[in-house]
Amino acid sequence: MAVDVGGDGDREGLKIFDPSTLPASPSPDLFYRHHVSLPSAIGKVWSRREVIFALAERDVRASYKQAALGMAWALLSPVLQVVLFTLIFSRVKAFHVAHVPYAIYAYVGILCWTYFAGALSSGGNSMIGNINLLQKTQFPRECFPLSQMLEQTLYTTIALLPLAILMGYNGFAPKIEILWFPLFIAVEAMFTAGVILAMAALIVYVRDLVQVMAIISQIGLFATPVIWPLDKLQNITYAPLGLHHVDLRPFYCFFNPLASVMDGVRGTMLLGQQPDWTLLGIGALSAAIYFVIGYSIFKRLEVGFADIS
């Protein structure tokens, strides 16, 4: 269908094409199938990890650039939260925990929760908020939500300072079992990454999820053992469902691995217990499942990111 005009027949010459000879669509065997294995995808992200740092740094710098107090806000808002929680919840007797000032107990839960909730809301919006980059650049798309996770890690780390002050004020020292801390962080990070990857990808296609995400954050704050201890689920009796003295914790931790993280962090750091390996194992397994499913959704949907957004 190409006509050689005035050339000597090889590819050096001018070729004129007649579009009318083209079929209406390509033959079915030519269609592009997007199959990416997660390990190779993770390898690609790792090789461009500097982009994650660059995007996070950009957002941190930009969000405090115009503020008179600048980075101080990253410290101020958790401090205010601590004050608020101390004032309100130290008066509610129902949730009190032995040997630990309630404000500390609640604040540790809050930290675990805000890490997830903050990463969810900014990570979920990270791609639709960067449409320019999404459509015009080529680094692995995972960098968008992951950069938000990194940013949230920074804020959470800063928020550890008020925790230290709170402990000093109450004369409370963390227990040596705090050394298990990285384990819980790993579970929380895996779960968070899975959820925000799926959320960020789905939001590109269905913007309604922005609203849904806000509602999840609201409900989650109370559905997760942030202000109440997980032990409340240890011995559940609910006659209409035929439950008599059932331990719901394993089921709940499988559904919501954050519960096992919060319970574990508080148990080790504040109460000096060994981690509850059953609950932690269930939480870790669940977080891994969330991660694989969430990441798979992301990779499946990434084909259309630049088209749809």
Partner 1 sequence: MPTSADGSIVVEQLWKRFRADRGRPRLNDQLAKIGGRLTGKEREFRWVLKDINFEVEPGGTLGLIGVNGSGKSTLLKVLSHTMYQTAGRCETYGRLGALLEVRGGIHPLLSGRENIYMYGTILGLSRRQVAERFDTIVEFAEVSDAIDRQVKYYSSGMQVRLGFSIAAHLDADILLIDEVLAVGDANFQQKCLSRISEVVANGTTLLFVSHDLAAVEATCERAIWLTEAVVRASGPTRDVLAQYRGAIEEHAALTTTTEPSVRVLKVEVTGPDGGPPQSATQALARLVLSAPKASKAKFVVGVSQGTAMPIFVVRHEMLHPAGDFELRCTLHNLPIPQGHYSLWLAVIDSADAHPAQEWRPVGSFDVFGPTAVRPPQGAMVLSPVYVDAAWDLS
What is the contact surface with partner 1 in residues (CB under 8 A)?
Answer: 5-7, 12-17, 19, 22-23, 25-26, 30-32, 34, 48, 50-51, 53-55, 57-58, 61-62, 65-66, 132-133, 135-139, 206-207, 303-304, 306-308
Which helix H or strand E contains 19, and what residues bound it?
none
Provide the minimum distance between the beta carbon of 102 and partner 1 in the complex, in angstroms, as a whole number: 40
Provide the minimum distance between the beta carbon of 204 and partner 1 in the complex, in angstroms, as a whole number: 12
Which helix H or strand E contains 14, and what residues bound it?
strand 14-17
> Which residue number, 22 or 88, has a Cβ lying nearer to partner 1?
22
Provide the minimum distance between the beta carbon of 13 and partner 1 in the complex, in angstroms, as a whole number: 6
Cβ neighbors of 287 (< 8 A, separation 6 or more) are 187, 188, 190, 191, 194, 257
Tokens of 99: 């040997």
**159, 112 Cβ separation under 8 angstroms:** no
Which helix H or strand E contains 237, and what residues bound it?
strand 236-238
> Which residue number, 187 or 209, has a Cβ lying nearer to partner 1?
209
Instruction: Determine the longest span between alpha carbons in the chain, in angstroms.
Output: 93
Specify which residues 5 forms β-bridges with: 14
Tokens of 252: 């709940």
> Which residue number, 7 or 168, has a Cβ lying nearer to partner 1?
7
Which 3 state secondary structure label does DSSP give 246? strand
Q: What is the DSSP letter of 269?
A: I
User: Distance of CA 174 to CAs 97, 108, 171, Å?
Assistant: 15, 11, 10
Residue 19, φ and ψ in degrees, nearest 5: -65, -20
**226, 106 Cβ separation under 8 angstroms:** yes
> Which residue number, 31 or 240, has a Cβ lying nearer to partner 1?
31
Provide the minimum distance between the beta carbon of 127 and partner 1 in the complex, in angstroms, as a whole number: 13
Provide the minimum distance between the beta carbon of 37 and partner 1 in the complex, in angstroms, as a whole number: 17
Residue 17, φ and ψ in degrees, nearest 5: -110, 145
Provide the minimum distance between the beta carbon of 6 and partner 1 in the complex, in angstroms, as a whole number: 8
Cβ neighbors of 70 (< 8 A, separation 6 or more) are 64
> Which residue number, 62 or 68, has a Cβ lying nearer to partner 1?
62
> Which residue number, 54 or 289, has a Cβ lying nearer to partner 1?
54
Provide the minimum distance between the beta carbon of 119 and partner 1 in the complex, in angstroms, as a whole number: 21
> Which residue number, 16 or 239, has a Cβ lying nearer to partner 1?
16
Provide the minimum distance between the beta carbon of 65 and partner 1 in the complex, in angstroms, as a whole number: 5
Q: What is the DSSP letter of 274?
A: P
> Which residue number, 266 or 299, has a Cβ lying nearer to partner 1?
299
